[in-house]
């Protein structure tokens, strides 16, 4: 199961919150309350790139990297939900239990998505 550690999750939260790719220095600045070393954040971003959670591109100066989340937070969470569902002995029972445990408003969102009346999927898939 592809999972994120606590520090990886904090870094991903920074990237998901940004509208543009970020350098290591920008991520360090956004995580200032954690008092992390530059090299620690650089290592985490490199690990996330190897795991395909982030993409990196050269910055305009040609020396530094800029990092961006490879997928949206929603896509990541949906993937986690599917992976957890794979752990169920009885997928149908797990789905029924899940559907019955969510609030009515969220059940309505699920119903609309299943019938094609919900919001369009931002990834472009149906």
pLDDT, position 126: 40
Burial of 92 per CB tally in 10 Å (0-12, 13-18, 19+): exposed
Q: Which long-range contacts (CB under 8 A, 24 or more apart) does 5-13 make?
A: 7/36, 7/40, 7/44, 8/44, 8/47, 8/48, 8/53, 10/34, 11/41, 11/44, 11/45, 11/48, 12/48, 12/53, 12/54, 12/69, 12/73, 12/76
List the one residue out of 64, 47, 10 whose CA is nearest residue 32.
10
pLDDT, position 125: 46
pLDDT, position 3: 78
- pTM comes to 0.78
pLDDT, position 29: 97
Which class would CATH give 6-69? mainly alpha
pLDDT averaged per 10 residues, the chain (length 126): 84 96 96 96 97 92 92 92 89 90 91 78 50
Task: Give the start-to-end residue ranges of the domains of the chain.
Answer: 6-69, 73-115
pLDDT, position 116: 83
Angle at 67 between CA 64 and CA 71, to 5 degrees: 165
pLDDT, position 63: 87
């Amino acid at each position: 199961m592809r999972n994120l550690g606590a520090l990886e999750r904090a870094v991903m939260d920074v990237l998901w919150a940004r509208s543009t790719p970020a350098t290591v220095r920008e991520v360090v600045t956004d995580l200032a309350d954690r008092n992390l070393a530059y090299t620690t954040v650089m290592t985490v971003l490199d690990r996330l790139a190897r795991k395909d959670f982030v993409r990196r591109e050269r910055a305009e100066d040609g020396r530094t990297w800029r990092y961006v989340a490879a997928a949206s937070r929603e896509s990541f969470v949906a993937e986690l939900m599917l992976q957890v569902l794979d752990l169920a002995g009885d997928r149908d029972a797990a789905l029924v239990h899940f559907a019955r445990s969510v609030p009515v408003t969220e059940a309505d969102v699920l119903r609309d998505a299943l019938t094609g009346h919900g919001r369009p999927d931002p990834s472009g898939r149906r």
